Amino acid sequence: MSQHTDRLSDNNKIEHHTTLYSSDVLIVRRGQEFQVKITFNRPYKPAEDKFAVEFVIGSNPQYSKGTYIPVFPAKERKSSWESRITDTSDNVVTVGITPEANAIVGKYHMYVTVVTPFGVRRTKRDNSRDLYILFNPWAGDDAVFLDDEEERTECVMNEMGIIYHGAYEDIAERNWNYGQFNYGVLDACLYIMDKSEMPITNRGDPIKVARKASAMLNSRDDDGVLVGNWSGDYTYGVAPTSWTGSTEILLTYYKSRMPVCYAQCWVYAAVFNTFLRCLGIPARVVTNYYSAHDNDGNLKTDIILDENGRIDRNRTRDSIWNYHCWNECYMSRPDLPLGFGGWQVVDATPQETSDGMYRCGPASVQAIKHGQTCFPFDASFVFAEINSDVVFYSRSKEGTLELVKVNRTHVGRLVLTKTPGDVTRRDITDQYKFPEGQRPQTTMAEEATVIFLGRVLCLWTNIEIKQKTLKLKETQKSTTVFLLSPGVKELVVVESKNYMKRLVEQANLHFIVTGKVKETGQIVTATKLVTLHNPKLIVQVWKNDAWKFYTQTNNLFGRNPAWN
């Protein structure tokens, strides 16, 4: 008996949008019919012959758990998967089989059993009859159904992506090859779920799959795929900026069974994106500029200043990243009230534990926008990343905290993802938060502004006083005393020798400048992120005639161009 012919296989791949997968066996999507051709040793007699097509998954398949699925083309017995005989020709029977829209995702073994006068006989195990069943965003009954062809094509089928990084005022792009259809990647993605010891029965639920994978993509607490490193020292691995695609990372992990070094947020997000798209879950990489890390869960970013206006590093636990990358995946959320399905935030970068493991999500984007921070999973953490207020406190020697300033617009300044079907960026900030102008405003303390001009840091304050003495606290912990008048700008030289040795590959300077008015004790503060760029290298290609003229000219003066 044979499973299918090449023609049937090609038709299945086209119908199931799996043509691009590099695989030796059949790959189909659940909730949609595929066809197999069975060849018997004699002509098939519908009235007399009884047979079944069996599908098993996992090491201990059981009918009660949905890991053993017998499919009966004849109507006398029902099965959970629909089937029908679509064609018969002598001893060849073509069967159409439709897996349930919530079927387990993974690699199945297929057998054919027949009833004979000597009992039930089953075909032997043959790897060529294996098949993969994936999530199906084209099927209306599938939990990952996405009814937008352009978005679906981008977020499932596109292998090439653009990841945004840099800073809000200086956005940069990084190309990435997701490679979700490359040979071996699908097996590597399924191995990740095996490695996590995820129950087979949970692997048809995109919520559970995405949550488990967000933990497994980082190596913290479970020997997952990637080791994080923000130190700038990548001696024992590959620098995060050197990666350009997911395939090598996933195949290395699959073959070595060991975490791969090294990653930062965009690498986690890129490889996670490959995992999701490979299994059929629509996914995209998202970048949040000025992304907060709420360490204590109070939905605010708290900056503690000491009595002199300097940041108290021992008590300031929250932080703000100039950008942070995470993923969105598309799915229904039957565990949430109506309207909170659709795009969900998942994040593999290990920041905080969730239910005891370093993972995040899936968290409904709609829930985040509307402040429904009680909804699972980790909606409050993501809300703080994009919508928290930056609150500055002054701490006295006695330990009391006094509110200095509240900045409601600094965090979550811009959220970007790639435009479907294009190489431009798409602003999706409004999907996460309402316009800042619609939020209620409170009275704030006087503010200061930081401007960076080349090697010069400029502080400008709008304190309405005739003349006061201001102590300026710089990043290098030096103190400069100024005598300021209203609207006057003072300059502080920032020399490269003070920071060059501390820069890592992204070369960002994060200034948090605070000042205290000596006469009144009033504190002003401001922040500024500056991205440093390497000089541009321009290569000039000489044409033969121009090079000949240049050589002759230099030889006249006794110079050899090769020495220059």
Q: Where is pLDDT greater, at 234 or 532?
A: 234
Given a cut of 70, is residue 479 above it in pLDDT? no
The burial class, CB within 10 Å (0-12 / 13-18 / 19+), for 530 is middle
**CATH at residue 112:** 2.60.40.10
Q: What is the pLDDT of residue 47?
A: 85
3-class DSSP string for 214-238:
HHHCECCCCCCCEEECCCCCCCCCC
Residue 316 DSSP label: -
Q: What is the pLDDT of residue 454?
A: 47
Phi and psi of 468, rounded to 5°?
-140, 160
CB environment 29-63: b (16+ within 10 A), e (fewer): bbbbbbbbbbebeeebeeeeeebbbbbbbbeebee
Tokens representing residue 247 in the block: 């395939």
What's the total number of domains in the chain? 1
Q: Do the domain assignments include residue 169?
A: no
CA distance 97 to 34: 5
Q: Of the candidates 425, 388, 432, 172, which has an alpha carbon nearest to the alpha carbon of residue 290?
A: 388
Q: Of the candidates 230, 252, 248, 247, which has an alpha carbon nearest to the alpha carbon of residue 239?
A: 230
Given a cut of 70, is residue 262 above it in pLDDT? yes
Q: Do the domain assignments include residue 20?
A: yes
Lowest-confidence segment of 1-10, 313-322, 411-420, 540-549 by average pLDDT: 1-10
Tokens representing residue 137 in the block: 């965003």
Q: How big is the CA angle at 513 (ends 416 and 528), to the nearest 5 degrees?
A: 20
Contact between 478 and 514 under an 8 Å Cβ cutoff? The reply is no
Q: Where is pLDDT greater, at 385 or 74?
A: 385
Task: Give 547's pLDDT tier (boundaries 50, 70, 90).
Answer: low
Residue 132 three-state SS: strand
Edge-to-edge strand order for the sheet containing 448-453? 448-453, 456-461, 489-493
Lowest-confidence segment of 54-58, 134-138, 511-515 by average pLDDT: 511-515
Q: Do the domain assignments include residue 524?
A: no
Given a cut of 70, is residue 443 above it in pLDDT? no
Catalytic positions are 265, 324, 347
How much is the average pLDDT of 323-336? 97
Question: At 541, which amino acid appears?
Answer: V
Q: What is the pLDDT of residue 98?
A: 97
CA distance 24 to 133: 14
How much is the average pLDDT of 187-213? 97
Integer angstrom CA distances of residue 528 from 180, 223, 290, 421, 511: 38, 37, 11, 35, 5
- The percent of the chain in helix, strand and coil, each rounded to the nearest 5, is 20, 35, 45
Tokens representing residue 432 in the block: 């996460």
Instruction: Say how far residue 36 (Cα) sits from the centre of its chain.
Output: 37
Q: Do the domain assignments include residue 21?
A: yes
Q: What is the pLDDT of residue 356?
A: 94
Q: Do the domain assignments include residue 222?
A: no
CA distance 278 to 213: 13
Average pLDDT, the chain: 86
Query: Which H/E stretch holds residue 556?
Result: helix 544-556
Q: Do the domain assignments include residue 11?
A: yes
Q: Do the domain assignments include residue 101?
A: yes
pLDDT digits (tens, 9 = 90+) for 487-529: 555 666 777 777 777 777 666 776 767 666 666 666 677 777 7
Contact between 500 and 494 under an 8 Å Cβ cutoff? The reply is no
Q: What is the pLDDT of residue 537?
A: 78
Q: Of the candidates 369, 356, 366, 346, which has an alpha carbon nearest to the alpha carbon of residue 265?
A: 346
Given a cut of 70, is residue 475 above it in pLDDT? no
Going along 220-312, which residue ranges are E strands?
226-228, 260-263, 283-293, 300-305
Q: What is the pLDDT of residue 75?
A: 73
Q: Do the domain assignments include residue 559?
A: no
Range of the domain at 110: 5-134
Task: Give 156's pLDDT tier (boundaries 50, 70, 90).
Answer: very high
Q: Where do the H-state alpha helices sit in 365-428?
A: 365-369, 379-387
